[in-house]
Amino acid sequence: MNDGSRGTPRIYKGSRIFVATKDVGEKICTGDQFYIDSAHMNHLEVFDNKGRIRAALNLDGSVNEVKTVRAIKEGRRLK
């Protein structure tokens, strides 16, 4: 994913936040922000450019429905 994203100086829950510089697969759009969940290290949390949760993706790119629904219900946001 190196050619489709860049790291930012921001850290969230111990993980570096990245910004998509182009669409990556079907679930990460240009401008989206994401990080690897540091608690489990088994999924990405993807946020739109305003910091609102979009999805939790497994490392193979598939949507983790359970974690996505939970994050949306919590109203998870990047700060």
- pTM for the predicted model, two decimal places: 0.89
Q: 41 and 14 in contact (C-beta within 8 Å)?
A: no
Task: Please tell me what DSSP assigns to residue 61.
Answer: S
Spatial separation of the C-alpha atoms in residues 34 and 63, rounded to whole Å: 14
* Res. 3 pLDDT band, cuts 50 70 90: confident
Q: What is the dihedral of CA 51, 39, 3, 29, to 10 degrees?
A: -30
CA 12 from centre of chain = 11
Give 13-43 pLDDT, tens digit per residue. 899 999 999 999 889 999 999 999 888 788 9
Spatial separation of the C-alpha atoms in residues 67 and 1, rounded to whole Å: 22
Give 50-79 pLDDT, tens digit per residue. 999 999 999 999 999 999 999 999 999 998
